[in-house]
């Protein structure tokens, strides 16, 4: 998330009651997760395992719970007791929850020729392009941008909070929700079926590329980026932080694990599970996924096991 305007490190430190060390001269431009940080961003870390990763990232400012680290040249650390709580305080300040008072927010921008059917909810800071059709009972939550010629079928929710929790076993509530301050971007000519759910990014964006089509009851997790002209059949579920390149086809009930890449023009057959990255331009099947032709040959041999066992026992 980029701030409306850059702020000083000292201002952030006062907000979260932090001690500062390092280069304090540069402005802070936003707050992001480690995999999407840019120069000028804040990132937070609260476990020694990830200290070095954050310190060596593109982030200019690191909210951390120790002074006992080497600060890279040009960067600054903000030392607090609980970096996660500091993150929540910053997000709440810059993107506070604002309740809705009407079905369609006054600041929503809806393009010429777009049709909004009854019982549609449109939240704050939503932009909808030209010639879209939004069917009844769709919920488009805050900070969603939709391109031209998009169709969204009934019951779909776009922009719901990420399924993303900070886990600490030393407190009564183990799973504390990490507030989502990201967005969703739906490019031109996308079609989304009934009962789909598309979570917004935690700090960045979830994106569906131009011409992509989703069947009914498809789930897209936070910060996932889907390329152009992809095709997802019913009940596909994709976890957070996934990169789906252009032209990918996922058939019914495919499950995709988090933070992996599916290469361009890959086809994953129905009811497969994708636990790790797979190259493009191949057909995959099974759990874990493998080349479909290899899986089919394996199945033939599995079916022959009783026959082979019988011959061995004779």
Sign of the CA dihedral with 49 first, then 51, 52, and 56 last? positive
Q: Which of 125, 143, 219, 222 is catalytic?
A: 222
User: CA 167, CA 153: separation in Å to the nearest integer?
Assistant: 35
User: What b/e sequence results for 145-177 when a residue is b if at least 16 CB atoms lie within 10 Å of its CB, and e otherwise?
Assistant: bbbbbbbbbbbbbbbbebbbebeeeeeeeeeee
Q: Look at strands 175-177 and 165-167 and give their pairing.
A: antiparallel
| Catalytic (active site) residue 222 | yes
End-to-end Cα distance, the chain: 70
- Mapping DSSP onto H, E and C, the string for 122-134 reads ECCCCEECCCCEE
Catalytic site positions: 222
């Amino acid at each position: 998330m980029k701030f409306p305007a850059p702020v000083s490190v000292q201002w952030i430190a006062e907000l979260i009651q932090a001690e500062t060390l390092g280069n304090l001269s540069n402005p802070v431009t936003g707050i992001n997760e480690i995999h999407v940080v840019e120069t000028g961003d804040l990132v937070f870390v609260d476990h020694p395992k990830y200290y070095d990763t954050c310190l060596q990232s593109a982030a200019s400012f690191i909210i951390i719970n120790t002074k006992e680290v080497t600060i890279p040249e040009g960067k600054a650390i903000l030392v607090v007791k609980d970096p996660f709580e500091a993150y929540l305080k910053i997000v709440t300040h810059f993107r506070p929850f604002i309740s809705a008072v009407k079905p369609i927010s006054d600041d929503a921008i809806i393009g010429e020729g777009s049709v909004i059917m009854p019982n549609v909810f449109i939240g704050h800071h939503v932009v909808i392009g030209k010639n879209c059709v939004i069917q009844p009972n769709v919920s488009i939550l805050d900070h969603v941008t939709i391109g031209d010629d998009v169709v969204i079928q009934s019951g779909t929710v776009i922009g719901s909070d990420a399924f993303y929790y900070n886990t600490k076993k030393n407190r009564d509530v183990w799973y504390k929700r990490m507030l989502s301050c990201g967005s969703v971007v739906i490019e031109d000519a996308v079609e989304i079926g009934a009962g789909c759910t598309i979570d917004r990014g935690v700090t960045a964006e979830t994106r569906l590329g131009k011409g992509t089509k989703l069947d009914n009851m498809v789930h897209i997790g936070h910060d996932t980026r889907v390329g152009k002209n992809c095709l997802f059949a019913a009940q596909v579920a994709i976890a957070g932080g996934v990169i789906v390149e252009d032209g990918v086809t996922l058939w019914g009930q495919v499950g995709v694990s988090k933070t992996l890449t599916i290469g361009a023009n890959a086809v994953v057959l129905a009811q497969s599970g994708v636990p790790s990255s797979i190259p493009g331009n191949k057909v995959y099947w099974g759990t874990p996924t493998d080349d479909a032709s290899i899986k089919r040959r394996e199945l033939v041999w599995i079916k022959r096991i009783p026959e082979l066992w019988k011959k061995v026992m004779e």
